[in-house]
């Protein structure tokens, strides 16, 4: 039991969710090191949503609302850390939810789908086909899901699927606390924030922007991903330089 007044309470709870997810087959063993890398970058960014990340989250909400066929792609780490938040965002944005895994087994797909459904999400089902230009299991997706989507939210992703989705002309939104990752640099819109801080902000953005198409269009057309990445790196450099003072 983690005491609420522990200074690293939030981080310890996240670790517990990942460890639990690993033990019950939702998180891939490799997901534990992916989480550790995320924790390290979150430390550097100051464990807070920066101003530029908040702008990215609002822009993501606008992109999901304006999309014709938005899909939220969920992997093991995302399901373990944020299943209720995925359900909330699905409700707020109207996006479909599809499970897409790098370390894919049908058993994990079923476990993750069940976990998402238990937490209130509606998960797309069907026979996946190798529809993305990739040599690994992430190529498998549903024809009327990710393949037909115009906008895909891919939290905690590995870089080449992001590139493959973009090569098919899709808008790709990623949540990645590492502004140097290939995914962060390839996505249409990169939210450099921790997953469980970012998701509720995107949902709130959806409620705020509901029935405001011109505000959505303004956010989408004025967005500049290089600015978002540069701001995150400047934030890290400032934190490092303050630590030396
Ligand atoms: O469940 P599977 O089989 O699909 O596998 C999922 C993982 C995460 C193992 C797989 O996609 C993977 O290996 O991802 P990468 O290449 O490690 O990329 C994950 C990215 O997410 C890294 O840049 C991490 O820094 C970042 N990240 C990790 N945890 C968080 C995070 N970003 C935001 N919030 C987090 N909690």
Mean pLDDT, residues 9-32: 95
Reply yes or no on whether the pLDDT at 136 is more than 80. yes
Euclidean distance between CA atoms 146 and 140, whole angstroms: 10
Q: Which atom of ligand 1 is nearest to the CA of 112?
A: 1
**Pocket probe mutation, ligand 1, options 156, 162, 173, 183, max atoms within 8 Å of Cβ:** 156
Which residues face 96 on adjacent strands? 71
Protein residue closest via CA to atom 14 of ligand 1? 158
H or E stretch including 58? Answer: helix 51-66
Reply yes or no on whether the pLDDT at 107 is more than 80. yes
The band of 7, judged by pLDDT with boundaries at 50, 70 and 90, is confident
Pocket of ligand 1 (CB under 6 A): 28, 30-31, 34-35, 37-38, 41, 75-77, 81, 101-103, 156-158, 175-178, 181, 194-195
133 contacts: CB under 8 Å, gap ≥ 6: 139, 164, 167, 168
User: Which DSSP state fits 135?
Assistant: S
Mean pLDDT, residues 100-125: 97
State residue 191's pLDDT score. Answer: 98
Which residues face 109 on adjacent strands? none
The band of 34, judged by pLDDT with boundaries at 50, 70 and 90, is very high
Average pLDDT, the chain: 96
pTM assigned to the model: 0.96
State residue 5's pLDDT score. Answer: 81
State residue 183's pLDDT score. Answer: 95
pLDDT digits (tens, 9 = 90+) for 187-223: 999 999 999 999 999 999 999 999 999 999 999 999 9
Mean pLDDT, residues 34-56: 97
44 contacts: CB under 8 Å, gap ≥ 6: 236, 239, 240
């Amino acid at each position: 039991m983690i005491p609420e007044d522990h200074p690293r309470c939030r981080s310890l709870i996240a670790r517990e969710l990942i460890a639990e997810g690993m033990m019950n087959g939702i998180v891939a063993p490799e997901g534990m090191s992916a989480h550790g890398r995320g924790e390290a970058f979150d430390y550097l960014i100051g464990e807070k949503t920066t101003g530029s990340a908040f702008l990215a989250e609002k822009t993501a909400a606008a992109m999901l609302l304006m999309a014709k066929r938005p899909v939220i792609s969920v992997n093991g780490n995302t399901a373990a850390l944020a299943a209720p938040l995925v359900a909330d965002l699905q409700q707020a944005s109207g996006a479909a939810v599809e499970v897409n895994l790098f370390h894919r087994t049908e058993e994990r797909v079923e476990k993750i789908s069940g976990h998402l459904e238990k937490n209130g999400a509606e998960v797309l089902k069907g026979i996946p086909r190798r529809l993305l230009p990739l040599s690994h299991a992430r190529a498998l997706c549903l024809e009327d899901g990710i393949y037909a989507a115009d906008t895909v939210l891919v939290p905690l992703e590995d870089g080449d699927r992001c590139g493959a989705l973009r090569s098919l002309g899709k808008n790709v939104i990623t949540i990645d606390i590492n502004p140097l990752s290939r995914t962060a640099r390839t996505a249409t819109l990169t939210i450099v924030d921790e997953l469980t801080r970012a998701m509720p902000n995107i949902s709130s953005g959806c409620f705020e922007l509901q029935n405001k198409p011109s505000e959505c269009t303004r956010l989408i057309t004025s967005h500049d991903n290089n600015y978002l990445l540069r701001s995150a790196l400047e934030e890290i450099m400032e934190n490092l330089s303050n630590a030396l003072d």
